[in-house]
Amino acid sequence: KVGDTVKVKFSVDAWATGEAIPDWVKGNSYKVQEATGSRVLLEGILSWISKGDIELLPDAATVPDKQPEATHVVQYGETLSSIAYQYGTDYQTLTALNGLTNPNL
């Protein structure tokens, strides 16, 4: 759809019009400027390409940031709640992330 970021597949040889696609276009990403039927118009290229000749790239806003893993050595007197607080979460999330079945042990 319009506004999506897509990548031109390396295997594509021709635009929807039949003209040859230059090698420098293949594998690069472009915004969809217009879409109609089975074709899309790529922004900056201004050439129509078949929808089957492009790959939809994930929107940066929909890709969650991977949180770095952390190791915590439990000290005497610490609880799941106190540890969770140190890491800005709650004991339920900490329990789930660590595969614990009983948070009271």
| Rounded distance between C-alpha atoms, residue 84 and residue 21, angstroms | 54
Q: Beta-carbon neighbour count of residue 42 at 10 Å?
A: 21
Query: How far, in Å, CA of 35 to CA of 86, rounded?
Result: 49
Burial 76-90 (b: 16+ CB within 10 A, else e): eeeebeebbeeeeee
Residue 77's pLDDT is 92
Domains of the chain by start residue, with CATH: 5-61 (2.30.30), 64-98 (no CATH)
Q: What are the average pLDDT values for consecutive 10-residue runs of the chain, which has 105 residues?
A: 89 90 87 91 88 83 57 89 83 82 79
pLDDT of residue 86: 84
103 Cβ partners below 8 Å, 6+ apart? 80, 91, 92, 95
Question: Each residue of 69-87: pLDDT tens digit?
Answer: 678 889 999 999 888 888 7
